[in-house]
Structure 1
Amino acid sequence: MSDPAIPRFAAMQLVRVAGAAMVIAGLLAANDRIPLGHVAGAVLAVAGLFAFALGPKLLARRWRSPK
């Protein structure tokens, strides 16, 4: 029984975790905790927010069964 939903669910969760990690790294960079720069940290944090919020939804839409 090879259910394609299991690896797809795992991929969606991996995108969400990666987005959260990007937000954390961006906030750390924006506060000079890691040497990346303020602007790069802010860009990384915003990109992480979009990946966290929209990434799984876009993947689910892409993998949706045809009607």
Structure 2
Amino acid sequence: MTEADRLAQKRYYMIVGVNLVATAGAVLGLLIAGRSNNWEGSILGGAILLSALYLMAVVPRAMARRWRTPEQP
């Protein structure tokens, strides 16, 4: 395995790790919102859920775009 392959593998695992953390955050937000007895807890859970969904949608794409191989002329 070449050095470029190892680097690509590490980057792939980092993107997958970000998705896993975001998924865990979304589940945590759902749990907080679902078990809350007052509106403050529901708002907190919803905010965590929305931020986790944003993280899931935006950050992996930005990482992939940043690490894209430049085109050869």
| Ranges in structure 1 where 5+ consecutive residues have no aligned partner | none
Deviation of the 1:32 alpha carbon: 1.6
Query: Where does structure 1 differ by over 2 angstroms across 4 or more consecutive aligned residues?
Result: none
Residue ranges of structure 2 left out of the alignment (5+ in a row): none
Which of 1 and 2 has higher RCO (CA within 8 Å, sep 6+)? Answer: 1
Q: In the alignment, which residue of structure 2 is the partner of 1:27?
A: 30
Calculate percent identity across the aligned residue pairs: 31
For 2:58, what is the secondary structure of its paired residue?
Answer: helix
Paired amino acid for 2:15:
M
**Given the two structures, how large is their TM-score scaled by the length of structure 1?**
0.85
Question: What CA RMSD, in Å, does the superposition of the two structures yield over aligned residues?
Answer: 1.6
Aligned partner of 2:54 in structure 1 is 50
Query: More helix per residue: 1 or 2?
Result: 2
The aligned amino acid for 2:41 is G
Q: TM-score, normalised by structure 2?
A: 0.79
1:66, distance to aligned residue in structure 2 (A): 2.4
Cα offsets for 1:7-55 (capped at 9, x unmatched):
000000000011111110000000126xx82111111100111111222
Taking the aligned partners of 1:31 and 1:23, their CA distance within structure 2 comes to: 12
2:17 alignment partner, one of 14, 18, 34: 14
> Equivalent residue of 2:70, what SS?
coil
